[in-house]
Amino acid sequence: MPTEMRCIEISEPGGPEVLTEARRAVPVPGHGEILIEVAYAGVNRPDALQRAGAYKAPLGASDLPGLECSGRVAALGPGVTGWSVGDQVCALLPGGGYAEFATCPAEHALPVPVGVDLKSAACLPETCFTVWSNVVMRGGLKAGERFLVHGGSSGIGTTAIQIAKALGARVFTTAGSPEKCAACEELGATAINYKTGDFVDVLRAEGGANLVLDMVGGSYIARNIKAMADDARMVFIAFLESPKAEINFAQVMLRRLTITGSTLRPQSDAAKAEIARQLLGQVWPMVSAGKLRVIHDSTFPLAEAAAAHARMESSQHIGKIVMEVKGG
């Protein structure tokens, strides 16, 4: 076992150029934790927010970016059962994924699904934890309901479309180009190009959305309400436009709408462990059956983390961006 590892540090808050390669000591797994030799690390919007200084790592978490990875179990901390050194895993991390080794609670790791390689496995944890916990556990999506997800060509969006379809929902989504709309429609969604069409008109003509998953906020909040059916739910997971809006709460009351939201990283270890258990029982069979597949945009070497962030922030990608650390 090496004592040092390559990693990517945030030298100071700023743009992608502040991501710099460095060397650090290999972390030691604590009680209930595993050490993962990282094969691939997923790239997510919260990584860019942390890099820009807008999203601090929780107390006790690694200051290195990276919230998901795949690889092999390299060591077990005290009290860990159910895992063996050498097992292939993918995991939701508290931080530290942009490195050759990372630790996480053992209960936040999942076996690599049957038929999935390590590159694709690195793209699963953050999106699946986020989508399942918000669309199903919080949003209560049911078969036959109309589901609207914004940003359908993103990693979250492509995952949400497929999980909702597998659950028997009718899926509607927004995207910003014909190519992105085509990618969403290939996954089974009705796609609305928000630059040329109005999702409110489309959804109202269909009876309204029963559930909305929103990562835009701002002006979309009032428009979502107009697009919702009576007794519908709206779940927020990010605010790419703005967390603030002026809305008419009389409509919320008269139509019995529910507005809620969550972020994943600050939740308790126990809450994340429960999501992991549900993923293993409900979502991993979808993956193995081919009902949920990773939509992969691009791969960058770890040393080119800045380029990976630039790709993500260009919003030109379709699906997930991943970094190769040790490969496999």
What are the E-state strand segments in the chain?
4-10, 19-25, 33-43, 68-76, 88-92, 101-105, 109-111, 146-149, 170-175, 190-193, 209-214, 228-236, 258-261, 296-301, 320-324
What's the CATH code, domain 4-124+294-324?
A: 3.90.180.10
The second-level CATH assignment, the architecture, of 128-261 is 3-Layer(aba) Sandwich (3.40)
Short-list 226, 228, 262, 216, CA closest to 247: 226
Short-list 190, 112, 205, 126, CA closest to 159: 126
Rounded (5°) CA angle 275-276-280: 120
Q: What is the pTM of this model?
A: 0.96
Per residue of the chain (328 residues), what is the pLDDT tens digit?
Answer: 899 999 999 999 999 999 999 999 999 999 999 999 999 999 999 999 999 999 889 889 999 999 999 999 999 999 999 999 999 999 999 999 999 999 999 999 999 999 999 999 999 999 999 999 999 999 999 999 999 999 999 999 999 999 999 999 999 999 999 999 999 999 999 999 999 999 999 999 999 999 999 999 999 999 999 999 999 999 999 999 999 999 999 999 999 999 999 999 999 999 999 999 999 999 999 999 999 999 999 999 999 999 999 999 999 999 999 999 999 8
> Domain segments of the chain: what residues?
4-124+294-324, 128-261
